């Protein structure tokens, strides 16, 4: 008797597996693109309500540092005044100073920039710090912080829904806080935020002195082991790209402004 249903060969199995994998990858890519578009459509009021759940955790850490808060927010106000009306409408940007040694800054839903003491201690001028704050405003402008946060949360909720993990859902706020503090953006997102910060720096001072200082001074991430560089492109590449942009846009260089913030 002949075998009408012969077992598939290894080659056939590999082809089937390849087709199946390709379909899954295409589906994931499509969903990712759809999600990126959808996240930009979320009303600012919704984002601010989300921030209201998260921000108090950081405010509690900053409550004993009113002077630092005041100085940082006065710097941010100067940058904010240079934003176009669309980016300022219904927004109330502010800084929360976090007294921890971590060298990092990050965007929090609800118009808040978190900046760690460790980073502030390393900057040498007001211009350098303003470039960092402008960079974070760039993430708000492009809504990068929501893309990063939303994807992580969506994956966790999907897993919890499939496997009935109530603990995962119950710990969502804790996950949000951890994800925000350690947000990782794509290289293109970081470069766009750099360009946005450079533009704000030029509008604020009439020149871009200090734009590359932070990345020049601390580009050796392996030696320093800082959190900032675990989630950002290498400093050397960013310096070269910023220097190229400065030439292309014919930005001028000027004098440094002293940083009033003393810790």
* Residue 16 and residue 58 in one domain: no
Same structural domain, 15 and 50: no
d(CA 99, CA 101): 7
Average pLDDT (71-82) is 96
Question: Do residue 27 and residue 133 come from a single domain?
Answer: no
- Calpha distance 122→116 (Å, rounded): 10
Per-residue pLDDT tens for 181-217? Answer: 667 788 888 999 999 999 999 999 999 999 999 888 7
Encoding tokens for residue 27? 């589906």
Same-domain status, 159 and 239: yes
26 with 139, same domain? no
Please check whether residues 60 and 144 belong to one and the same domain. Answer: yes
pLDDT at residue 248 is higher than 90: yes
DSSP H/E element including 113: strand 112-116
> Residue 243 — φ and ψ, nearest 5°?
-65, -35
Which residue range forms the structural domain that includes residue 100? 44-249
**Residues 176, 180, 181, 187: is their CA dihedral positive or negative?**
positive
The answer to the question of residue 75 being in a domain is yes
Is 161 part of any domain? yes
Q: Helices H, strands E: what count in the chain?
A: 14, 3
Do 244 and 160 belong to one domain? yes
- Domain match, 97 and 35 both: no
- pLDDT tens column, 7-51: 667 777 778 778 878 887 776 566 666 666 777 778 888 888 888
Q: Are residues 165 and 216 in the same domain?
A: yes
**Residue 176 shares a structural domain with residue 243:** yes
On whether residue 65 sits in a domain, the answer given is yes
Q: Contact at 8 Å (CB) between 228 and 104?
A: yes
């Amino acid at each position: 008797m002949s075998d009408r249903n012969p077992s598939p060969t290894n080659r056939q199995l590999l082809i089937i597996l390849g087709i199946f994998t390709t379909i899954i990858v295409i589906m994931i890519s499509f969903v990712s693109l759809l999600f990126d578009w959808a996240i930009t459509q979320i009303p600012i009021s919704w984002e601010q309500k989300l921030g209201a759940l998260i921000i108090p955790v950081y405010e509690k850490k900053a409550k004993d540092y009113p002077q630092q808060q005041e100085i940082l927010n006065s710097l941010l106000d100067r940058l904010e005044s240079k934003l176009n009306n669309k980016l300022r409408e219904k927004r109330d940007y502010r800084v929360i100073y976090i007294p921890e040694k971590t060298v990092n800054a990050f965007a929090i839903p609800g118009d808040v920039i978190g900046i760690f003491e460790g980073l502030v201690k390393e900057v040498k001028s007001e211009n350098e710090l303003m470039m960092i704050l402008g960079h974070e405003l760039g993430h708000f402008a492009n809504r990068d912080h929501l893309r990063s946060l939303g994807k992580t949360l969506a994956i966790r909720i999907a897993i919890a829904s499939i496997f009935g993990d109530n603990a995962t859902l119950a710990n969502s706020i804790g996950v949000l806080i951890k994800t925000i503090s350690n947000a990782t953006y794509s290289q293109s997102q970081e470069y766009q935020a750099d360009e946005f910060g450079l533009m704000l720096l030029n509008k604020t001072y009439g020149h871009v002195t200090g734009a590359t200082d932070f990345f020049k001074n601390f580009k050796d991430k392996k030696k320093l082991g800082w959190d900032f560089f675990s989630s950002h492109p290498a400093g050397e590449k960013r310096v070269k790209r910023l220097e190229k942009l400065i030439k292309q846009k014919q930005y001028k260089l000027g004098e440094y402004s002293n940083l009033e913030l003393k810790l």
